[in-house]
Structure formats: C-alpha cells, structure tokens
Amino acid sequence: MKIPFHPGLLACIRSIPGRRWNNDAKTWHIANLKESLDKILLAAIAAESSVYIGRHDPFSLPEEDHIYLLRRSLAVRRYSRNTIESYVRYNRELLLFTGKNADEIDQDDVAEFIYHKIREKNISTSTVQIIINAVKFFYGEVMHKNFPCDIQAPKKDKKLPVVLSKSEVAAILDSIGNLKHRTVLMLIYSAGLRLNEAITIEKNDIDCDRGLIFIKGAKGRKDRTTILSEKFKILLDAYVRTYNPDKWLFKGHDIGSHISGRTVQYIFSTALAKAGIAKEATVHTLRHSFATHLLEQGVDIRYIQELLGHQSPNTTMIYTHVSTARIRNIKSPLDT
C-alpha cells in the first residue's frame, strides 16, 4: 500500500496491528482485512487524499517457508483438514499481528494476540485453547524451540447445547423446497452426523440393505457406523434418481468437489428463519437434537455414544442434562 505523506493517514496506518514498512519498495504491508481497509479509506477521505492498494505476499520468503513446513508437519502427522487450516490460520494471524519474524515472537506477544482476539472477536474458551495448541505445535515441530508458552486457557464454559424439539426439526425440513437441500439436512439429523461427515460422505458409504451408514475417518481419525433411517431411505431414493451422484453423495459446484460446509450452514439458517424458530441453532444443533431425542426414547447412553463416535462417555453424558423428559414429569410443589 502506498500513501502520500499525511499525519492523519500515517497515524491510521500505524494503529493497525501487524503493519510492516518496506523501506526498499517504500510501501506499507497490512493484512487484507475488511476492517483495516475500511479504516484506511475513511482516513484517506478525511485527509482528502488517495491511497494505492495492491496485493502482495505479507511474509518474507523465510516466513512463508515456515508456514509451508507447518502445513506439511500437520499433514504428515495425519491431522484433520480442519485442524490444519486452524493451526495455519492462527499462526499466520499471529505473525501479521506482531509484525515480527517467527523467531522473535515471545510469550507476551502470544498473550497480547489472544487478548486482541478476545476483545475484537469475542472468541470462545475453546478457540483460546486451539490458538495455544497451534502456537506450541508451530514452535515445537517447525521452529524446534522449547517455546515457553505457559499461558493458561480459561476453564471451558459449561454450556448446555441448544436442542430442537421434534416438531421444530420437522418444521425446518418442511420449509425446504429443494430436494438436495432437504436431503442433506435430513441426513444430518436422522443419523447424528457432524457437518464435515455429511458433506464428505460418499454414495457407497450408505448400505441400504443393512440399514447402516459408514463414516470413514471421522473425528479422531476413527471409522464408525451409524443408523440409516427408513424415512430417510425414501427421500434418498428420490434424491439419487434425480441427481444421480457418482462419488460424493452431495456434489459441489466444481467438477469432482463435494458440497461446502458454508453452503449447508446457509441452507440451515435460511430454513430456520422460514420455519420461524428463534433459537440460536446451527447445523450442529441437528446432531445434538438427534442424541437428545434418542435418549428421551429410552436408548442406552452407551449406544448413543457409539452412534455419535464419542471417545469418552463423559462427552455423551451432557445429553442427560439437556433431556427434559424426566424433568417435565416432575410437578412443582405449587401444583401439589
């Protein structure tokens, strides 16, 4: 980015975390973030001046090499795609935020970065832990440094998951006219799938004869099987006859790709609004609802754990706190 000399514009640039001055090119380098660009453009308007914005790699070659090595190390260790992208993203953001080389960053820089993310993005306690893990991996496996990251993540929030009633789930599905969109959401609810499991499922992963769905390489790199709903089989048959999928059950726009997670999130949020449901629900809420409804039907918690693919029964036990079936049968002392 090139700007004419103006005290207001210069102060604006210097207020942006992670900005860098390239003395050879006489340009400022900043992250391509909408909030930063908007801030600069407003300052330029106020200064009655203009700025030149061009695309440029924000890292010097050594830093880009470090990011490549990070991605490679994660892939070799068979980390999931989501974990790889998270670790790469947060380490990139840390480098941009500090404006330092990787070997210059210390614990105070990490703490300040996390504080910035909490203040600006209101990140959750689990995201704080992911950032800490990402930084530790980067410095331990890529930089080969015993990084003194003694930052303690806050205790995880003990929030109960949002759950939809059966009638609310039905209202959401009924509000969708598109066959493909209805099929993907019904699959998630009827089988208790995670979003990534649903979008990457292949046509051959569904065994209609045995009434099973095979989930390959799920969270924790574990395979599992889950149930295939009889009602869903009817919808699936209509979907397959209409769309004729080959590899991926839900094809994406690009040749050879599957549907994206963002697309499914948009489908769900649109259907939620059409159904007139005010709960703060996401696609993952369908999975929570699947587990809770099974528990309320009397299904043993150990079977639910297996269907969901939870490694620890403690993870599944949260649904015993969410289920209201028994609570609804308790009468208030006022009513007795």
Which positions are annotated as active-site residues?
A: 194, 219, 284, 287, 310, 319
Gap between the Cα atoms of 184 and 182, Å rounded = 6
Query: Tokens for 110?
Result: 């990490």
Token pair 């209609």 is found at 208
Residue 208 has phi, psi (to 5 degrees) of -65, -35
Q: Where are the alpha helices (DSSP H) in 220-300?
A: 230-243, 261-274, 283-296
User: Are the CB atoms for 76 and 84 separated by under 8 Å?
Assistant: no
Residue 249 has phi, psi (to 5 degrees) of -65, -40
**Cβ of 277: how many Cβ atoms within 10 Å?**
18
Side-chain-side CA neighbours of 46 within 13 Å: the count stands at: 13
- Whose CA is closest to 65, among 142, 147, 144? 142
For residue 78, give every residue at least 6 positions away whose Cβ sits within 8 Å of its Cβ, in sequence order, or none: 221
